Chains A and B, each alone.
Chain A
Amino acid sequence: MLESGIIIRALMRNKIGALLIALQIALTMTIMVNAIFMIQDRQQQMQRESGIDEKNTFYLTNTVFAQDYNIQVEMQADLNLIRKMPGVVDAIQINAIPLSGGGWSMALQHEPGDDKDTVSSALYMVDDHGINTLGVELIAGVNFTPNDIQWRASGQSTWPDKTIITKAFAKSLYPDDWQSALGKTFYISQNQPMQIVGVMKNLQAPWNGWSGVERSMLVPFQMESQGSKYLIRTEAGRRDELMPIIEKALAERIKGRLIRRVTTIEDTRKKSYRQHNATNKILTTVVSTLTLITGFGIVGLALFSINRRTKQIGTRRALGATKWQIMRYFMVENFIISTFGVIFGCIGAIALNMWLATTFNLTPINIELIIIGAITLFIVGQLAVLYPARKASLISPATATRTI
């Protein structure tokens, strides 16, 4: 463009003004790109599937306080009651709930001994209804049989000899061929053998921030414990209707225990990712206000510079410049400033990402985001300068002949 030389020379005479806008654009881009990157990262985490039928599942806690209470008998009676209710798909007693943040982890090792390498995993204690209640998909091997289920006394240190693990866990044990894990015997608690009888497609651990969140195992245990949780899966759409009914039925069936914290898995997910969600909302707000501020800053400065140049613009018009040429002048000017801003912005974005990566263990940024950020800021700049440029183009050529 012919006039870009003229524009650059004019900018050089007002270096500071142009530099301030360029710096704003650069910083905005730095923040924007990194914030969007973090938002995406969190969103990806939030979109991971837990593996269970989240929509139709809920759980409650059962806390026994009476002294003369037969835990084994009453628990079986509770489960029988729930499983027979119309609308209920299945129910189990379980030690921990996926996504809830609290649970149990154990490690498996290829060979027995106290100095061998281990791979840790979340551990869920379920009976033969576990697969059905959780709604997980068994992709290899078999489910537990009723005969596999053992009672676990509080504080017991021995483990059953069968387990069903997730595919991700199998992959950690056999990085080359996860299928070879099936049927193999591993060791839990350093030296107790445990055979993998089945592999599930996926089931997340209760801790969403854990790097091994996809590694879980089911063991055929029912707990003889005063505090336990019941996980209940209903037919599609009947969860909310059944929650109070089941709570009431259990509470009325026997005294001496408390039924509490009747919670849906959907709520558990919400609570589990609450911080992620909150951070994302805050970051979104920051990025949008920041963009607005930068945009308005450009508008303000452009209006001012046009006010100061009213006479000059009038003279140009008098000398034959068209409205479009006047507008174009300001738009090209903004484009040139934005280019400098975006170049610094790229450097800034990468630098901030590097700092965040080392300080907060974030992964490096991808290049598409930087390009998207750059394009966004060019667009913001052009949109912001549109109104002032239009205003400039409306300055009457007669202004040139006025004295003041």
Chain B
Amino acid sequence: MFSYYLKIAWISILRHWGLSLLMICAIGLGIGAAMTTVTVNYLMSANPIPHKSEQLYYVQLDSWDVNDPFDEGKNPPDQMTYTDATNLWKAKKAFRQSVNAQTYAVIEPNDPDLLPIIADGRANTADFFAMFDVPFIYGGGWTEQADINKELVVVINKETNDKVFGGKDSVGETLKIDGDMFKVVGVINTWEPKPRFYDVTTGAFNKSADIFVPFSLIAEEKVRRSGNTNCWKPSGDGLAAFLAGECVWTQLWVELKTEQDKQEYLTFLNAYVEEQKQYGRFLRPLDNRLSNVMQWLENQEVVADDAKMMMAMSFMFLVVCLLNTVGLLLAKFLGKAPEIGLRQALGASKTTLFSQYMIESACIGLAGGILGLILAYLGLKGVESLYGDTMQGLATLDVSMTALAIILSLVSTILAGLYPTWRACNIQPAQQLKSQ
């Protein structure tokens, strides 16, 4: 019977092609718009490191001004002072811990024919690579000893390795960075987590770093800090005074295996802050936080307001398209009243008619869904070209989004078809069969 329903639906869709086209376009546009915005939202709120996002925690301490609290007291500062970050790192109370900050550097390739390049860098401690599962092609990260000894070592990404070393295994080679010779210890594969969860303070969807160097080199003035710096209290002149001051510019991540570990770490943090209070710091009430990856992304409002707003708008758009479809289907099915009456006279039961018209609705929904997918694909291309770099990699349809589009279109058209079909099934045959 199913194939018969399909055949009848096909004939009906073709015979009223203008109306069918209108419905398919309406659904297609609605689904296209909804899927475009849903995809952007979905990718913006994606979990960049699903297998361990629950074990990685961002640490916040409220070291801010007692007279003018950070974020009006709603949140502790989004970064940490150098003093606290290094103290907590040295305490080694977590399974793994990594202090990091954004840097930039000029690389002078060994080949004199190549021009110097400016690289975005990250200054971090050794655990960074293991914590965030950074994929290596050659070599690996440096050891904790390298951090302590302030060794001139560097991990470079594939792109830089291709540029400077022609893509060969460059582990053991030296690289001139800001005038100093660094030893390459590892080359990482392309690693562009979206969102770039490990540092959302300078753009959650920006590119990942080109080079990685030990964090301790910042204090040695071997690498230059970049990224956001926020101060509430003037510090004295010079780098040493700056580092000792109350400016926040470092980020501390810890890896904690269990809920119990997390509680213990929080207790440790609170004890640390209590201890610091003795030195006249931390005048605000105790507000130390551990946020796992998804909590942190949520807290930092990584999903842009514009994206959320447009998703709301596009769903209303879809509703309009569906109302349109309900109206057209209703008109179409009621226009078929004589046929429905006749079919009943010829032995079609309500169930039979219901299935037949639902299948017709679903066919239109499916066609609309496919059109919607195409439109969503084009829409995402459009979004990508309109927004430029910030949307790179955020505007792609994956399998689950494709499936969602089809399901959404089917479900919504079936919902839209429900009332017209119900009306069609309740047509009184006797009235329709009278000669006109």
Contacts and interface: CB of A to CB of B under 8 A. Distances in A.
Whether A and B touch directly in their complex, counting CB atoms under 8 A apart, is answered as: yes
B323 A65 contact: no
Interface in A45-99: 63, 65-67
Contacts of B234: 157, 189-190
A62 B90 CA distance: 37
Contacts of A156: 237
B179 interface: yes
B317 interface: yes
Given A30-B316, A66-B179, A20 B236 contact: no
A366 interface: no
B241 A157 contact: yes
B81 interface: no
A27 interface: yes
A275 B25 CA distance: 28
B386 A293 contact: no
A218 interface: no
Given A65-B178, A301-B331, A286 B116 contact: no
A248 interface: no
Which residue, B25, B316, B334, has most C-beta atoms of chain A within 10 A? Answer: B316
Contact of A293 (B29, B118, B382): B29
A155 interface: yes
B319 A65 contact: no
A289 interface: yes
Contacts of A30: 316
A24 B237 contact: no
Interface in B236-257: 236-239, 241-242
A294 B335 contact: no
Interface in B314-358: 314, 316-317, 319-321, 323-324, 326-328, 330-332, 334-335
Contacts, number: 146
The dominant DSSP class at the B interface is helix
A175 interface: no
B335 A297 contact: no
Interface residues of B, number: 60
Which residue, B239, B331, B332, has most C-beta atoms of chain A within 10 A? Answer: B331
Nearest to B307: A279
B313 A31 contact: yes
A42 to B, nearest CB: 10
Nearest to A190: B234
B308 A360 contact: yes
Contacts of A258: 106, 116, 118
Interface string A149-160: 000011111100
B67 A115 contact: yes
A347 B19 CA distance: 31
A307 B335 contact: yes
B306 A275 contact: yes
Given A65-B108, A115-B67, A157-B235, A275 B330 contact: no
Contact of A278 (B25, B241, B334, B383): B383
Given A31-B317, A283-B313, A360-B308, A23 B323 contact: yes
Contacts of B25: 293, 296
A304 B332 contact: yes
A339 B65 CA distance: 57
Nearest to B243: A155
B327 A20 contact: yes
Contact of B29 (A190, A278, A289, A356): A289
Interface in A283-308: 283, 286, 289-290, 293-294, 296-297, 300-301, 304-305, 307-308
A286 B314 contact: yes
Interface in A326-359: 352, 356, 359
B106 A300 contact: no
A172 interface: no
A102 B304 CA distance: 19
B309 interface: yes
Contacts of B67: 114-115
A227 B224 CA distance: 10
A277 interface: yes
Interface residues of A, number: 61
B388 interface: yes
Given A20-B330, A65-B179, A282 B29 contact: no
A357 to B, nearest CB: 11
A27 B317 CA distance: 8
Contacts of A24: 320, 323-324, 327
B325 to A, nearest CB: 9
A244 interface: no
A156 B390 CA distance: 34
B309 A356 contact: yes
A157 B235 CA distance: 7
Given A278-B386, A281-B386, A304-B332, A293 B237 contact: no
A260 interface: yes
Given A114-B67, A227-B224, A27 B323 contact: yes
A277 B383 CA distance: 11
Contact of B233 (A38, A114, A277): A114
A325 interface: no
Given A278-B383, A301-B331, A28 B310 contact: no
Contacts of A296: 22, 25-26, 324
B108 to A, nearest CB: 7
A300 B331 contact: yes
A274 interface: yes
28 contacts: A24-B320, A31-B316, A38-B309, A114-B67, A115-B67, A155-B239, A189-B234, A190-B233, A227-B104, A258-B118, A279-B310, A282-B383, A286-B33, A286-B314, A286-B317, A289-B317, A293-B26, A296-B22, A297-B323, A297-B324, A297-B328, A300-B22, A301-B331, A304-B331, A305-B331, A307-B335, A308-B334, A404-B436
Interface of B: 18-19, 22, 25-26, 29, 33, 65, 67-68, 104, 106, 108, 116, 118, 178-179, 224, 233-239, 241-242, 304-306, 308-310, 313-314, 316-317, 319-321, 323-324, 326-328, 330-332, 334-335, 382-383, 386-388, 390, 419, 423, 435-436
Given A16-B423, A403-B436, 20 more contacts: A16-B330, A27-B316, A35-B313, A38-B309, A65-B106, A65-B178, A114-B233, A115-B67, A118-B68, A258-B118, A271-B388, A274-B388, A275-B306, A282-B310, A282-B383, A283-B310, A286-B33, A293-B25, A293-B320, A300-B22
